A = this chain, B = another copy of it.
Amino acid sequence: MPLPSSTVENYLKTIYKAQAAQRDHGRLVPMGHLAQALNVVPGTATTMVKALAESGLVHYEPYAGVRLTPAGEKLAALVLRRHRLIELFLVKVLGMSWAEVHDEAERLEHAASDKLIDRIDNMLGRPATDPHGDPIPDSSGSMVVRDYQTLLTCPLGTPVVLTRVTDQDAAFLRFLEGNSLKPGQKLRIEARDDAADQVVVRGKRDAKITIGMRAAAKLQVAPAEPEG
């Protein structure tokens, strides 16, 4: 049981996220999808996944796909935990922009010890979510998954709070930041227009922001709490 290389960690993390993305939790992730997400050629993914299956971290069905075993799931969750705590730390403590912390965390997550991660967790007050609103697993690998609406599915007119952004692309995040679209921000959907592919929202100081529907689908919201 050698401790997993950063390659292994990346495979597990990617499978985990792919599994989470397809709402059915038990469905298999197709090899092609995995290979693409990892930026490797399909054959490489096959080889690697077979090795992961060998060590009991994934369940692999030839020509069908792959799914994490409980062991793999736990490992993946801990990688995600490291990643998200590091991201939050870089933003909160070092003052980095949320648009640039992803790549940094992508490398640091494989180098940080549990001890360090725990100190960070503690210093940040055991936070529940990272700067993008993604939930942070606890040190045992479990986390609360909440099901949010998106700007595409939530009701018009009623006030909502932006809770999560499901895309880490730096340019996209910079765009959001420029429009004060960060988790915690109160919003109201003004209009949706399928034909024009646009969603109009009122944000900070009632500023009007128009975004495309593909982008809107990446913004998750919750009903706004009544004013405190």
Contact = CB atoms under 8 A, between A and B. Distances in A.
Interface of A: 90, 93-96, 100, 103-104, 107-108, 110-113, 115-116, 119-120, 123
A111 B94 CA distance: 16
Contact of A110 (B93, B103, B111, B116): B111
B100 A115 contact: yes
Contacts of A119: 94-96
B108 A111 contact: yes
B116 A111 contact: no
Given A111-B107, A111-B108, A116 B93 contact: no
Nearest to A107: B111
Contacts of A103: 113
A5 to B, nearest CB: 12
A123 B110 contact: no
A151 B97 CA distance: 47
A105 to B, nearest CB: 10
A116 B93 CA distance: 12
A93 B124 CA distance: 12
**Which of A95, A107, A110 has the largest count of B CB atoms less than 10 A from its CB?**
A107
Contact of A94 (B90, B96, B108, B123): B123
Nearest to A96: B119
A111 to B, nearest CB: 4
12 contacts: A90-B116, A94-B116, A94-B119, A100-B115, A103-B113, A104-B112, A104-B113, A104-B116, A107-B111, A107-B113, A108-B111, A111-B111
A180 to B, nearest CB: 24
Contacts of A116: 90, 94, 96, 104
A119 B95 CA distance: 9
